[in-house]
Structures are given as structure tokens and as C-alpha cells.
Structure 1
Amino acid sequence: MSPVVLITGTSSGIGLAAAIQAQQAGYRVVATMRDTSRADDRLEGVDVRRLDVTDPESVTSVVESVVRDHGRLDALVNNAGAGHIGTVETDSVENYRKVMEVNYFGVVAMTKAAMPHLRAAGGRVVTVSSVGGVVGQPFNEAYCAAKFAVEGMMESLAPVAAQQGVTVTVVEPGAVASEFVANVGVDRESAIEAAGPYGASLQGYLSRTATAFSGAQTPDEAAATIISALTDEQPPFRLQTSDWARAFVATKLADADGTAVQKLTTGWI
């Protein structure tokens, strides 16, 4: 019987591409999203379900119904997430909490709900992090904090889960041309004006970011790494989606005192 994978955040971008590619790879795919009216036509034949990863009842009911309807759960892909631009002095604590709820606590809730079923199946947890889960980036304080938390959780969980037959992998995309960027919701001029003393630095960061995303990967290219994490016999814990992402992450992992990263990111602003 074909394995069952539940993927969060599949209305667009990497999640949508991963759902399509997983189905092509022979999985029974459960593609979840907050608003199922946004389901792409290419998900025809895929089991599309409503899920809000920040709602505990939604998380529990979806996981339980998937196991009831399909008889098993072999893999979870934690992909749902949201970006955020701001800096601590001019941003609100409430915004930080919201970013953590979606990007971190949503991952915790989904993984907790799925784990008993993944243990039974000898399954996999694949979590879409970011290069921002390794390298802190200017004006991404809340987002990087959440992704750092995801990486810390999963890196700690991996050996424990492995003892129970469950493989844990994080996937780290760099720039990806998708609706994710648009969904950050930054109006450039308004944001610069609202940034006060940080306006000039934010202007520099936004200009640099626009350049970075001009050469971004496609969602299909990034999603292929997720499929590798699902299908390779022994995937590593950490997978980047491009050569650029590998080089970027390597800067941090070899940077014991933080000097190299600070020099790099200071140049962005």
C-alpha cells in the first residue's frame, strides 16, 4: 500500500510543489491549508483538507482523521510558515508572538500529534526551515528566532526519534520565488518611514533582498529536496536546497565567534 504523507501549507509555493511531486513519487498525499478555496487545480486527486497549525483542535482532528481515513501516517512535512520584517525597538512583542505561533509552535503541535503514528510506521518528519534558521539576518529577528527554535528542536529530537525508528530532517531553502515573499506584507515606503532611526538600514536591506530574489530558485526546485528527504534511504539531518544555500549555511557553521556572519550581514544594510 502506498505510504501516506501529510503536508502543511500547500496553497502555494514550496508546499504546493511538494504535494504535487510527492503524489508523482507514489505517495498518498494529504495537502493541508487554512483556506481550501485556494486549492490549486493541480491538486486534483490529492486529499485536500483544512488545517490551521495554530489551532490545537484543528491539528488534532486533522491528524486523527487522516489516520482513520487512510489507515496510517508515514510522513509529516512541516511546511506552513510566514515571514515577517521588523526590528525589536519599533516592532511589537505581539508580532513576535504571532511569528512564533505559526513558524515554531505550529511545528511543535503538528510533530507532537503525528509522532505516535510515525513511530508505528517507522516514518519521517521533514521540516522546512530556512537558511534563516542558521544565519540571523537583519530585520528578520522574529522570523529567524522562530526558525532557530525549529532547528534547535529538530536537532535535539533527531537522535531521540531515531531510537524509535523515526527519521528527522530539516530542509533549508534560500531565496525562493513564491508567494511567501509577497505574504510578508511589507509596503516599502511605509515600512521605511515607520522604521524611524532604522529607516536607512531598512532601505538598504530591502534593496539587497530584491536583488537576492531576482535570482531565486523555483518552488519546484526547492521542493525536490523535500522529496529527497522523504525517499532517500538515509537522508542527512540537514539539507539545503541549492549550492548558494549550502555555501551560506557553511559560513555560519564554520564561524565559531560570529565574526564572519556579522561582517557578511552588516554589508546588507
Structure 2
Amino acid sequence: MKDSPRTALVTGTSSGIGLSTSITLSKAGFNVIATMRDLGKAETLREHAHNAGVQLEVMQLNVQDDNSVHEAVNATLERHGRIDVLVNNAGAGHLGTLEQTSLEEAKRIMDVNFFGVWRVTQAVLPQMRAQGSGRIISVSSIGGLVGQPFNDAYCAAKFALEGAMESLAPVLARFGVAVSLIEPGAVNTAFVANVGGRQHMTPSESDPYQALIAGYLQTVQHAYATANIGQSGEDVAAVILEAATTERPDLRYPTSEVARARIGL
């Protein structure tokens, strides 16, 4: 493994943390398989890779589709013979209370943020166990440790992810596979894009939550603009690189002082 580049499979790489992680790992010498649901969005990633002077492979992978997951994992193994690092980054945001959010939308958020990680990890693990080494790195959130207003479905999915990975970690350690959770706080590249889904809320002529949500968004946007609380995708990617390369990776990586303060560390 030390004599040839390690292979990293990264999900959700069309923008944000996933894009930055793909570039960062490529710069560090990894063979990067950068995956995304819609290859029509790959041009931005390719432009960043070109500007950074690195090469990576772009592959279609929809974490909500069993066949898509297995096809991508099998193709990676056929080309490279191993997967040394899996970065579970693909995710979806949602803004709204339990009452406002349809069950269908709640299931979608859970499917992307939790079962998507489950699918890809389950597909990769047999190879990692066979080779006796590997890193499973999942991008969670401080919202997986501390509930946040109007993030009911999102936090539920991230809490589930945290529990599953923490339970899995000591077992996989017996096979030489390390498990890590990346826990960003505010990330500038993700917040606005990932709070979609309000079109799925139960409609109401007089929604009692609308004024509260508007005030919440105004407060958050003001904090982003004035307090510089948001990290960049590159900041988080640097933490992922540490988890991928350090000899003894931690289980949890809060990615900033703001994140650590939010969870009381």
C-alpha cells in the first residue's frame, strides 16, 4: 500500500466539501474516484482539478440506488484493485419543523444522509476487511450531536449516522479498518444550497412557524456576514485529509473552534 498511491472513493463531489476533498486528496497523492449523482454537474470539479494540476476519475454514483452504488464500487475495484479510503460526503439539507415536513420528505432526508452512507459503506467493507486496512470517513455535522432549530429531519439523520459509526468503529478496528466522523459547524459552501426542501412542507395559509424560520434565517445570515463563523470547503477537506492519513485517526473530528464550542468541547 505504501509503494503505490492509495485509492480514495469520495461521494457527493459536484460542489462544496466533496469537491474540495477530491482536490485535496489528489494533491496528497491519492488516486481519487470522485463520484456524484449527476455527471452533468462534473464540469466544475474538472475545472478545479485542472487549475490545481491534479487528475482524478469522475464516476456516477447515486447513494440512494443499490445498483448504482455496487456498479461504482465494482468499477473502482476492477481498475485499482482496492479502496483504501471511503469518504461518505453526499448529503441533503432540509429546513423545517416536524409538523411542516411531510413523511415522504423526511424519508428522503434519511435516505440520503443515513441510508446512503449505509449502502456505500456496506458495499466497500468486504474489500477493506479482505485487505486488512481502510478508512471509513463520514461527513456528519455538529447537528448529529446537538439538535438545531428547524433542522428536525436533518439532525435526526445525522444523529443516526453518529450512532451507527460509533457502534461500528470498535468492531472494524479488529479488521484494521478505522472509522471517523467529520463534524463541521457552519460551512459557507453548504448552508444555503442544503436547506432546500421547503417546497415539500405541508402547506398552510397561516403557518405559525414562518415568522420564526424567517427570524432564524436572518440571524444565521447575519452571523455569516459579520462574525465570519463559516468554514470553507477547503478547511473541512484538510481535516478529512488528516483523518485519511494520520496513523491513529480519531473517531470524531469537530472541524473548527465554533464547532467544538457548540458541542461543549
Both proteins in one fold, TM over 0.5: yes
How far has the Cα of 1:213 moved from its partner? 3.1
Q: Which residue of 2 aligns with 1:51?
A: 61
One-letter amino acid of the counterpart of residue 157, structure 1:
L
Partner SS for 1:111:
helix
Q: Which residue of 1 aligns with 2:48?
A: 42
CA distance in 1, matches of 2:211, 2:95: 15
CA distance in 2, matches of 1:225, 1:113: 24
Cα distance per residue 1:224-250 (max 9 Å; x no partner): 000000011111100011111111122
- Equivalent in 20, 23, 31 of residue 17 of structure 1: 20
CA contact (8 A) 1:195 1:202 kept: no
Q: Which residue of 2 aligns with 1:84?
A: 94
Q: Which residue of 1 aligns with 2:152?
A: 141
CA shift in 2, pair 1:105/1:194, >3 Å: farther
CA distance in 1, matches of 2:143, 2:247: 27
CA shift in 2, pair 1:206/1:66, >3 Å: same
How far has the Cα of 1:187 moved from its partner? 7.5
- Give the stretch that moved more between structures: 85-94 or 131-140: 85-94
Cα distance per residue 1:34-65 (max 9 Å; x no partner): 11221221234201001100000000111011
One-letter amino acid of the counterpart of residue 7, structure 2:
V
How far has the Cα of 1:91 moved from its partner? 1.7
Cα distance per residue 1:142-174 (max 9 Å; x no partner): 000000000000000000110111000000011
Query: Is 1:26 aligned to 2:40, yes or no?
Result: no
Query: Is 1:177 aligned to 2:183, yes or no?
Result: no
CA distance in 2, matches of 1:248, 1:183: 20
One-letter amino acid of the counterpart of residue 78, structure 1:
N
| Runs of 4+ in structure 1 over 6 Å off | 190-195
CA distance in 2, matches of 1:176, 1:195: 32
Query: Is 1:62 aligned to 2:72, yes or no?
Result: yes
- Give the stretch that moved more between structures: 194-203 or 25-34: 194-203
Stretches of structure 2 that go unaligned for 5 or more consecutive residues are none
One-letter amino acid of the counterpart of residue 169, structure 2:
A
How far has the Cα of 1:5 moved from its partner? 0.5
CA contact (8 A) 2:96 2:198 kept: no
How far has the Cα of 1:182 moved from its partner? 2.1
Q: Which residue of 2 aligns with 1:6?
A: 9
Q: Which residue of 1 aligns with 2:116?
A: 106
Q: Which residue of 2 aligns with 1:260?
A: none
Q: Which residue of 2 aligns with 1:218?
A: 232
Partner SS for 1:196:
coil
Stretches of structure 1 that go unaligned for 5 or more consecutive residues are 252-269
CA distance in 1, matches of 2:31, 2:85: 10
Question: Once the two structures are aligned, what percentage of the paired residues are identical?
Answer: 49
CA distance in 1, matches of 2:174, 2:69: 25
Over the aligned positions, Cα root-mean-square deviation in angstroms equals 2.0
CA distance in 2, matches of 1:90, 1:7: 33
- Give the stretch that moved more between structures: 207-216 or 1-10: 207-216
Q: Which residue of 2 aligns with 1:168?
A: 179
Partner SS for 2:248:
coil
